[in-house]
Each structure stands twice: as structure tokens, then as C-alpha cells.
Structure 1
């Protein structure tokens, strides 16, 4: 008697799974461990969350420093208001929730309680861009666009665990407010294979290349590096410029790499509206470079729900799709 295997169906776990590739090196909860380690050295550091400690890796800090952890419940405005009060007393708070809640629900509190007085509050936003399959209610595809216009706010979009581990102490040392697009759970380790160090406010040329320049941020730097390896098989030499700090933006480094006759693309885990592409494009226009920049970004739309690999392929963030885009542009 023969049987036919049923098609494999995506499960709920697949909708919140890590974006790491099968077999890729990862680090569990790099943000939580980095924050706990920082707190060992700096007694001012405290952690808060809005009922999402486990899902923003803040639970690691809570276990290590229970007396310096504050569970605020499902009240994002209270979360940021309390963090502002703590910063006023000299503490260094890290406040975590999902990016959609930090930006859509609590914008006014972040703006007037934290950014306007220039307080050292570090907002940690989980599930940025397309890092969850739970549809528009949880996909913060427009968080950078919402926050870029806020004066004095530093925005960091890390590529991997290496970026996160190095960014956390620098965010704490930074005097003003920050927003970190958190990668949680089992986060890939990519940048330790390159001569790279995270420096707040600086871009870095991670890989050189003569034919194409890929300017990327967040997890799309991982995809840009993967795409560059595959493009080499097509005799295309691609450079990768990683821009982990989206605001303030390191125009000098990026524009220096864009000057010339190489094909230029931006890659971001964010809507094409108001993020890395428009940041780069505006800098190009202001400096009169006269070059075309092609975006690889999410569409200006509410996205579907589903498994992350399927969604990344559908919306152009998968490595194969990046390679196709570059080859088509060439």
C-alpha cells in the first residue's frame, strides 16, 4: 500500500520564526544578554517592558537584575512616560515593546516626554519591518518613516547579533533618546566575518566592489552580503555599505561610495516610503550627484500574513530576489 505525503503546511511558529537561514550561525537573545552585561558595569541601567519581556528578550535582563526590571503591563504610553521620569532622576532606561506599539500608540509620549527634553531613554522596538508573519497589526513596516521627523532622536537598524551587542553600550552612553529596531530570538551572526565594528552614527564599507554598490541597513545587510557572493558567480562585483544608524545619517561615507559610475541600490526592511531609500535619494539630490538609485524595499501597502520565508520572497527581500533585481538593473 502506497501513501502520498500531504503538502507541508506553515504553522503558527513559522509566522514568528527567526529570519536566520537553515544552518546559519546564530546567537540567542543578544539584546537581553548585552543589556544584562551592561547593567553589571553600570548601576544606572534599568529595563522596562509593556507585557512583552519574553518577546523582546527583556526577560534575560529581568532574570539577571530583577530589582531593576519594571513590568508596566499593556500600557505603552505609561511605559514611555515612566521611562522619561526615570531618566530625569539620572537612570538609563531601556524600554521595550513591539515597534508598532512604540510608534503608533505612544508617539506623543516619545516626542514630548522624551525627545523634546532630550532625555537618555532607549526605546527598543521588536518586530520591525517584515520580521513577523502576523500581518499589519504587528508588522512595523513604516516605523522609521514615523520617527525620522522627530528632532533629536537617534535611530539604529542593526544587521545582526554583532551589531546589537556592540550597539547597546553605545546607546546607553549617548546623551539623547534612541530607537533600536530590535532583532530578537536566535539572531544571525554575520559581521564578525568582516573587518567591522559598530560605531554609532557611522556607516561602514563592509565589502568592496567595482560594478555595484548596495547600501543597506538592518537584516538587509545580511541579504546584501549574500547577494554579493551570488552575484560574483555572474561576474558581477558588488560592494556593500552598511548603514546601521539611520538618523543621524552618515552621508559622507555613503555619498563617497555612490560617486562614480557603479549601479547603486538601497536595501531596507521597511516601506519604500520614508526610510533608507528616501534618506539616500535626498542626500544625492542635495549634493547634485546626478545618479539613479534603485530601491529594494517593501511596498507602500499593508502586507499579507504568512510564513516569513514566503513573505520575504513575495515582497522582494529574499536573497534570490535581490540578485534578480540587481541583474535586471544591470
Structure 2
């Protein structure tokens, strides 16, 4: 698998996933004249600003009016444009979920929704701005593809792929700097999970920045004689059933890890697949029915037990439950 040469080094490059989105938009602006970008007074924070500066005639600043922004995006999509809606995930798809449901998804409008500042790693902004429910409220909607890129390089790939995909797409981005551990050669395809490390004892299935913590955990587990498979399940919907079922069948135990509530997110999606096809012992790691709080990103991930040492413990526990 093509991963960073500095995968386990302390000086691995750290870049927010939202930066990959901004870079992808600028590239799309050059290659596709139908791409337009909408902002709800957060162009700088969501990294949509660079597109607006280079292509001002295709950039729409709608102010703090996320519900209206989704409606405008629908109109643009039905007129043949490819609109990218840019805001914080707590506001989009949070505040404008009704418009996403009825205007976009029911109409199958070709709208792309970028929800930035998702998860606990928003940090000091605190609970009101830490989207921990967005995967759940997005993946329940018919016709909506849901993606969570693992690093900035993959976020750019997601942005480019979303423009080519016909139909509504929601993808989740982060504020904090996180390790860039994939490369331009690492495979990415909507709906196809990526096995980053093979293994036979337990499968660690993650999305977003915590995929990297899964790799760190697998490295530690190997020192204990445990061979862990690590899967980047970037697409939550449509989920890659084949890869997940094979992982459960071949390793006999599964740990999921996500920066989201344990209800309705990646863990729930994986459990739905395995419950119907290949039941095995499973641990779902995430935020356990709590709101977030203010703090530095790393401190919060440590408090809510979402780092590599926590994954190691979960893996050891779930292996003990194997028959």
C-alpha cells in the first residue's frame, strides 16, 4: 500500500483536511466551468476563499443563512451547475438538514455538501461547534453519498471525485492539523474501502483522522504478537460490504473507530452489515452519547478514549471474545 515514508515518524507532515478541500476546489475551478462554490460567511475557515479569489464570478457569499444556501445550491444544480456548499458541519448538514432532505436529496439534485470543523478536534470552539452527529443524520437520507476522508490528500481526492459523481454528496472535514499519511498514489474510489495493512487476528475499521490512530495501534499490537488488519472505510454510504464481510470472516473480530457518536455513524453502519451477514465480536469506539467540550484537540481525543492506546485495549478485549 502506498503510504507516507514517514508513517510512524514524529515529523510526519500535519495538514487539516479542509486544506485538501480548498486545493481541490481551485483545481476544479480550472478544469470544470460548471463548478460553483457557495459560502455561509465562512470562506476562510472552510478554505473556499481561494476559489472565490480566483473565480469570483462562480463564488456566492450568502451570509449566515445556511438553509437559504442549500436552497440556492439546489436551484443551481437543477440549472446544470455543480454547486459545492461550504460551512461548518454543525450548520450544514446540521441546521439545514430539512433543505438537504427535501430540496437536495428528494430532488436528487447534484449538490456537494462540505461539512468542515467536524468532530472533537474542532477543539476550543466547544460542544456547540463540534459536529458529532453529522454522519448519522446524513447517511439516513436516501440518494446521499457520505464520505469521511482520512487526511488532506484524500480530502482533495474526495473533492475531485464528488464533482464527477452524479448525485448528492456529503463529505466531512476537520479543522485541526492531522497527519498526512496517504500519498497521491494511495487508491481512492467512492464506495471502496482501502486495506492499509493486512492482518489475521482483528480488523480495525476507521474513518477520518482516526484511521491514523488505527495504524499506530496496529503497530503496537504487532509488538504483542497480534496481527491487526487496518481498513480506511472512507465511504460510509454506500458502504463497502464486501471488504467488511471479508475482514470479519478472515480475522474473526472487529473494532471500529470514529470521531463521532457511537450511535448511527461508521460503527453502526458496519454493525448493520455484519449483523446481517457475518456476526463476529465487535467494539464500537467513538463518543458515547455525550456532547463535546472545549479543549485542545489531542486532549479531547485522549479524554474520550479515541487514541491508539485505547484502540489497542479495545482490540485485545474483542479478541478475547472470539470463539
- The residue matched to 1:104 in structure 2 has which SS? coil
Q: Structure 1-normalised TM-score?
A: 0.89
- Of the structure 1 ranges 269-278 and 56-65, higher mean CA displacement relative to structure 2 is found in 56-65
Find the partner of 2:14 among 26, 30, 37: 26
| Equivalent residue number for residue 182 of structure 1 | 173
Deviation string, structure 1 residues 68-113 (Cα, Å, up to 9, x no partner): 1111100001111111111111111101100011123111111111
Provide TM-score, normalisation by structure 2.
0.91
Matched with 2:4 is: none
Shift of 1:262: 3.3
- C-alpha distance in 2, partners of 1:37/1:91? 16
The CA RMSD measured in Å over matched residues stands at: 1.7
- The unaligned stretches of length 5 or more in structure 2 are 1-8
Q: After the TM superposition, which residues 94-243 of structure 1 pair with which residues of structure 2 at under 5 Å, given as runs?
A: 94-133=84-123, 134-184=125-175, 186-192=177-183, 196-243=186-233
- For structure 1, which runs of at least 5 residues remain unmatched after alignment? 1-20
Flag the 1:161–1:178 CA change in 2: closer, same or farther, 3 A.
same
**TM-fit CA distance, 1:22:** 6.1
In the alignment of these two chains, the number of paired residues is: 308
Report how far residue 183 of structure 1 moved. 2.9
**Does residue 59 of structure 1 match 2:16?**
no
Q: Compute the displacement of 1:26 (Å).
A: 3.1
SS at match of 2:90: helix
Q: 1:286 & 1:262 partners in 2: Cα distance?
A: 15
Taking a change above 3 Å as real, the CA distance of residues 185 and 91 of structure 1, as seen in their structure-2 partners, is farther
How big is the shift at 1:302? 1.4
Alpha-carbon distance in structure 2 between the residues aligned to 1:129 and 1:183: 7
- 2:72 aligned with 1:82: yes
Corresponding position: 1:291 with 2:273: no
Secondary structure at 2:292 match in 1: coil
**Which string of whole-angstrom CA distances, capped at 9 and with x for unpartnered residues, describes residues 163-186 of structure 1?**
112111210111110101013464
- Deviating more after overlay: 150-159 vs 231-240: 231-240
Partner of 1:15: none
Conserved? CA contact 1:47–1:61, under 8 Å: yes
- Distance, in Å, in 2 between the alignment partners of 1:167 and 1:100 is 20
Contact map agreement 1:83 1:93 (CA 8 A) in 2 = yes
1:45 to 13, 24, 35: 35
By how many angstroms is 1:257 displaced?
Answer: 1.1
Q: Distance in 2 between matches of 1:170 and 1:37?
A: 12
For residue 313 of structure 1, what is the aligned residue in structure 2?
302
Contact kept in structure 2, 1:30 and 1:184, CA below 8 Å? no
Whichever of the two has the greater Rg, that structure is: 1
Instruction: Name the CA distance, whole Å, in 1 between partners of 2:256 and 2:178.
Output: 22
SS in 2 for 1:179: strand
